[in-house]
Structure 1
Amino acid sequence: MSRRVVRQSKFRHVFGQPVKADQMYEDIRVSKVTWDSSFCAVNPKFVAIIVESGGGGAFMVLPLAKTGRVDKNYPLVTGHTAPVLDIDWCPHNDNVIASASEDTTVMVWQIPDYVPMRNITEPIVTLEGHSKRVGIITWHPTARNVLLSAGGDNLLILWNVGTGEMLLTLGDMHSDLIYNVCWNRTGSLLVTTCKDKHVRVIDPRKQQVVAENFEEPIALQEMDTSNGVLLPFYDPDSSIVYLCGKGDSSIRYFEITAEAPYVHYLSTYSSKEPQRGMGFMPKRGLDVSKCEIARFFKLHERKCEPIVMTVPRKSDLFQDDLYPDTPGPEPALEAAEWLAGKDAEPILVSLRDGYVPLKNRELKVTRKNILDNKPPMVPRRSHSTCDANFSRPSLEDLLEEIRSLRQTVQAQEKRISDLENKLCKFTNGTA
């Protein structure tokens, strides 16, 4: 009679617990979190939450260091003319976030380290190319400034945010609405799920589907019978997948291995209140001194509640087995290198001494002069005085002057915000 071998795992006893009340972001009276927002976007500096705002599109950015009650006049990031459907922080710049909207555009924003006094209304760049709502955006994991968007027009578009250009358009690959998109580790391939019930692995640079609708799954795990949207989060460093159901009140987590049966159930975190959405902190934003291996940000109607997952250890020393080197904030490639066919592994960093977020790094967009791509104009038979004055050099001078004025306005805006912050401190008696 054979004896069943129980697999032992260092993650067998992973404990999840909510943080203390004063460490939540609560009483968010600006507006309710939208039901369309299935998650919030999190990085080591900020948490961003999509909100409803007068029929337009907006989201709120909260510094992780500032918790507690959120003022009703807290500034928003606004600019879209229709609801925001997706947001994603740039993996290579903690102060840059992209947003996708029902208004068919994608906008990229620079978020200051200080809390602005007014709404942020001017994006760094607006990306226009979709003909219908844009529901999905995701940054390339290793190439600088490469962003992918998927819209209701069943198109995938890759952008160079640094120039505001469209790099690639992937059409005729999906016959129905695209549900989700994910890159592989190096960004050489991407996988999509679609309403037509097909899973596609795509090589974007060759613009072709390399695999589609696999015949048999290597493992099948039945979760429950509810029809809520399932939100999966995968940690490649620990090979743990966390499954959160929208409208559910639990988080189930499993370890993935290369040997059969491949999927190993670990445990379930349960709470009393259901989640409207969920965010997942990148590994470099965790507290390694407390053996924290995952941190979620659970969206309620009027609060955002962090939930930490820890592996209890008796020693206070750094746990090497829990924290292998992880992808850091530096890109491994430039956009042009990736487009030319080059691939690279992410640049890894050690978490031994903890991760300290970098200071605000400005994203500069350098647009190419469209006049350089136009053929020379054929001389006309007659020229008016107005036509002669409006020559190509004068137009370039005008564009340069507009750029200079815009930089001056942005500098003055920052100076005004700094002064308002100082005045606010004096008014509150904190300075």
Structure 2
Amino acid sequence: LMPFYDVDAKLLFAAGKGECSLSILEFVDGTECITQASHTVLPEQSKGMGMLPKLAVDVMACEVDRLIQLCARQIVPVKIEVPRKSHRDFASDLYPDTDSDEVTLSAADWFSGKDGQVRVRVKITLKTSLDPSRRKSFSNPTQQPKPASAGEAPSSIPEQPGKVVQNDSITPSSGFKKVETEKKKVEPELPKPSGRAFTVGQKSKFRHWIATTLHPATHVTNIPKLKMSLPGSCDGFHANHERAAVPLTTPGGHIAILELSKVGRLPTTSPPSVQNTSAITDMRWDPFNPLRLAVGLENAAIKVWDIPKGGLKEVASDASFSLSGHHNKIICLQFHPLASGILASASTDSTIIIWDLDTQEKCITLSGHEDEILHFAWSSDGKYIASMCKDSKIRIFELRISTDPIKVTTGPEGSRGGRIAWTCGDQMLLTSGFSKNGNRQIAVYNVAHFDGGKIEDIELGASPSTLVPFYDEDSNVCFATGKGDTTVYSFEVSTEDPYLTGLNTFTNDQPHQSFSFLPKQNCDPRKVEFARAWCLKKTSLEPVSFKVPRVKMEYFQDDIFPDTRDLTKPSMTSQQWLDGDNKQATRISLRPSDMKPLSEAPKEAPKTKKYESYNAETYKTDEEKKEELLSAMSNKLDLDKELEQDTMEGVDEEEW
């Protein structure tokens, strides 16, 4: 084991060479006890590991330590972050005073027997963040300007001997430095206005969804020998509404077939499985046949298994048939979303082959890729395929028209891995990859303006595993999580700005291997459950329910559950699709027969307040108050009242 100790946080990190895990231990204050704080699963074996100094962490992301993992072909940063609700303020409780990077003793002094003072303790604040401009700067001796070479233009601001340049006068608003000279003052350039205006956050019905792991009585536990070191293009496992395919470490490429109706603790013996005789790279259940499983292998073959009804009773070694056509190992498999018997496979030979499982022959070969394929996806109407490659290009194929891409644009800059999915009725493409600085990134592209590149992206911090997206076309919600993560992120995708809206997150109690979401028909609309998935952990398989909190749950929430496509039944055969048909799936309603839609619910009368400062029945409007005031004023003027002079005795007119 390779130990790394953080004296400030009192954390001990332990990783073994050749292992795929990282243990985090904590020293308890006032005792000599060590407790297990966390355990993280790494995607690849560790060849070595190191820890960066404390001053290199990102304090505003609540990062307490950063380890560097050396793998067989790459170097991966592993960030240790503490979850906090807000990252606006500096978390001073996480960062006590730490050692500075100042040198207090030279090597010659140490060899001569001198003892230096303890390094000064400094506070970790924004001045010790990763931004070098915010660190404490030291003035260097003034140097005379060097004469410009023949190939260099003279500087527009010559250096003046004896004049100090103020490097620390940086304003938060502009970010420009004020430079002073003896003759003139250079004014800072104003920042150019951003092309994108400020937009108010979009209101979403799904912003506050709640995810819960169902009762332990519904779990499948005691899964033995789970294989966790799978290629990054593999989801880790795959499940439908009847059974799950879980890869095992047993030699020979075994995949356990678990019947989800038989929940509980599995026997100590190995579960029934299919033996593929080669390492597994991907697996996928047929969406229209819950008994058919396609498996991609490292020997470039694809094996198709037909599981008997009732499940396997023992190890099966003879597949129904095998497909051969690729020259290198399989990367990923995808069934056609509408046509039965159509399977697409991608390989490291930079090709995508479309197979007809009814005839067991390849029909179309897409060879327009210039580098290794990372992932690909069918459009929801089954007309197009979008692919990601290591050359940072995204390509769209109309495969029945041409084997060359019809649209190409620049994708994620990193080449460590990636995923792609169609969203918003095939108007948008969503990608999961890595940015140039190694952070995980979610980005969206407008298919109509594909040449313009991405229109929105969100970075989610550094992690070695690729985020695997699942898109729900009815709610426009995309869930994303990675292997070894404990958090499931979610975003709402829109065709208008803002294109990505962050929603709620779900946190597991321990790292999970993967999630496999089920078709919409498996959701319970009575509980306002809009998504359901199986979560694979190290030794268990657990169902997770995603719900939207509502008040009137006795009504069918028709604003949450529109008519959905029935993707469990094919809309056409393989031959019909190859002949050019584009028949779409039928739509069905998820409303139970005994539930009334929320849109038809009677409107409630306004409720009286418990404490009212006035009587609502005697409350008068402004018009009523005006009429009452005029009436009161006119009533004061009595027209029939006797005047004072009427009582006086007058004189005759002749006397005037």
Q: What TM-score, normalized by structure 1, do the two folds share? A: 0.77
Q: Distance in 2 between matches of 1:325 and 1:79?
A: 41
Once the two structures are superposed, the pairs formed by residues 233-312 of structure 1 within 5 Å of their partners are 233-312=470-549
Q: How far does residue 203 in structure 1 lie from its aligned partner after superposition?
A: 1.4
Look up the SS of the partner of 1:338 in the other structure: helix
Unpaired segments of 5 or more residues in structure 1? 355-431
**Counterpart amino acid of residue 390 in structure 2:** K
272, 296, 321: which one pairs with 1:100? 296
Q: Distance in 1 between matches of 2:320 and 2:565?
A: 26
Q: What per-residue deviation string (whole Å, max 9, x for no partner) do you get for residues 112-141 of structure 1? A: 331332123332221111111112110001
Identity %: 30
Tell me if structure 1 keeps the 8 A contact 2:220–2:260: no
Q: What per-residue deviation string (whole Å, max 9, x for no partner) do you get for residues 170-191 of structure 1? A: 22x1222211110001110010
Q: Report the equivalent of 1:22.
A: 217
Q: Distance in 2 between matches of 1:142 and 1:313?
A: 33
Q: Distance in 2 between matches of 1:74 and 1:349?
A: 40
Q: Distance in 1 between matches of 2:558 and 2:208?
A: 17
**Counterpart amino acid of residue 23 in structure 1:** T
Q: Report the equivalent of 1:129.
A: 325
Once the two structures are superposed, the pairs formed by residues 68-87 of structure 1 within 5 Å of their partners are 68-87=264-283
Matched, 1:33 2:270: no
**Counterpart amino acid of residue 345 in structure 1:** Q
Tell me if structure 1 keeps the 8 A contact 2:240–2:285: yes
Q: What per-residue deviation string (whole Å, max 9, x for no partner) do you get for residues 279-309 of structure 1? A: 1222122222222111232222211222211
Look up the SS of the partner of 2:458 in the other structure: coil
Q: How far does residue 232 in structure 1 lie from its aligned partner after superposition?
A: 0.8
Q: What per-residue deviation string (whole Å, max 9, x for no partner) do you get for residues 317-337 of structure 1? A: 332222223232221122122
326, 331, 345: which one pairs with 2:570? 331
Tell me if structure 1 keeps the 8 A contact 2:257–2:311: no
Unpaired segments of 5 or more residues in structure 2? 1-196, 410-450, 594-656
Tell me if structure 1 keeps the 8 A contact 2:228–2:236: no
**More helix by percentage:** 1
Q: Distance in 2 between matches of 1:69 and 1:181?
A: 36
Tell me if structure 2 keeps the 8 A contact 1:190–1:201: yes
**Counterpart amino acid of residue 319 in structure 1:** Q
Q: Distance in 2 between matches of 1:64 and 1:295?
A: 14
Matched, 1:11 2:248: no
Q: Distance in 2 between matches of 1:268 and 1:177?
A: 33
Matched, 1:46 2:240: no
Q: How far does residue 6 in structure 1 lie from its aligned partner after superposition?
A: 4.6
Tell me if structure 2 keeps the 8 A contact 1:42–1:282: no
Q: Distance in 1 between matches of 2:457 and 2:345?
A: 30
340, 349, 373: which one pairs with 1:144? 340
Tell me if structure 1 keeps the 8 A contact 2:487–2:508: yes
> After the TM superposition, which of the residue ranges 252-261 and 270-279 deviates more from structure 2?
270-279
Q: How far does residue 5 in structure 1 lie from its aligned partner after superposition?
A: 4.4
Q: How far does residue 74 in structure 1 lie from its aligned partner after superposition?
A: 4.8
Instruction: State the superposition RMSD in angstroms.
Output: 2.1
Q: Report the equivalent of 1:413.
A: none
> After the TM superposition, which of the residue ranges 182-191 and 56-65 deviates more from structure 2?
56-65
Q: Distance in 1 between matches of 2:294 and 2:257?
A: 12
Q: Report the equivalent of 2:316.
A: 120
Q: How far does residue 90 in structure 1 lie from its aligned partner after superposition?
A: 1.1
Question: Residues 289 and 186 from structure 1, CA distance in 2 versus in 1: closer, same or farther, beyond 3 angstroms?
Answer: same
Q: Distance in 2 between matches of 1:288 and 1:297?
A: 18
Question: Residues 236 and 152 from structure 1, CA distance in 2 versus in 1: closer, same or farther, beyond 3 angstroms?
Answer: same
Q: What TM-score, normalized by structure 2, do the two folds share? A: 0.51
Question: Residues 322 and 61 from structure 1, CA distance in 2 versus in 1: closer, same or farther, beyond 3 angstroms?
Answer: farther
Q: Distance in 2 between matches of 1:349 and 1:97?
A: 26
Q: Report the equivalent of 2:636.
A: none
Question: Residues 256 and 212 from structure 1, CA distance in 2 versus in 1: closer, same or farther, beyond 3 angstroms?
Answer: same
Question: Residues 3 and 203 from structure 1, CA distance in 2 versus in 1: closer, same or farther, beyond 3 angstroms?
Answer: closer
Tell me if structure 2 keeps the 8 A contact 1:176–1:194: yes
Question: Residues 6 and 129 from structure 1, CA distance in 2 versus in 1: closer, same or farther, beyond 3 angstroms?
Answer: closer
563, 585, 606: which one pairs with 1:346? 585
Q: How far does residue 145 in structure 1 lie from its aligned partner after superposition?
A: 0.3
Based on CA coordinates, which of the two structures has the bigger radius of gyration?
2
Matched, 1:67 2:263: yes
Q: Report the equivalent of 1:229.
A: 466
> After the TM superposition, which of the residue ranges 95-104 and 31-40 deviates more from structure 2?
31-40
Once the two structures are superposed, the pairs formed by residues 77-226 of structure 1 within 5 Å of their partners are 77-171=273-367, 173-205=368-400, 206-213=402-409, 214-226=451-463
Q: How far does residue 84 in structure 1 lie from its aligned partner after superposition?
A: 1.5
Q: Distance in 2 between matches of 1:62 and 1:281?
A: 15
Q: Distance in 1 between matches of 2:320 and 2:564?
A: 29
Tell me if structure 2 keeps the 8 A contact 1:49–1:61: yes
Question: Residues 165 and 216 from structure 1, CA distance in 2 versus in 1: closer, same or farther, beyond 3 angstroms?
Answer: closer
Q: How far does residue 165 in structure 1 lie from its aligned partner after superposition?
A: 1.2
Look up the SS of the partner of 1:233 in the other structure: strand
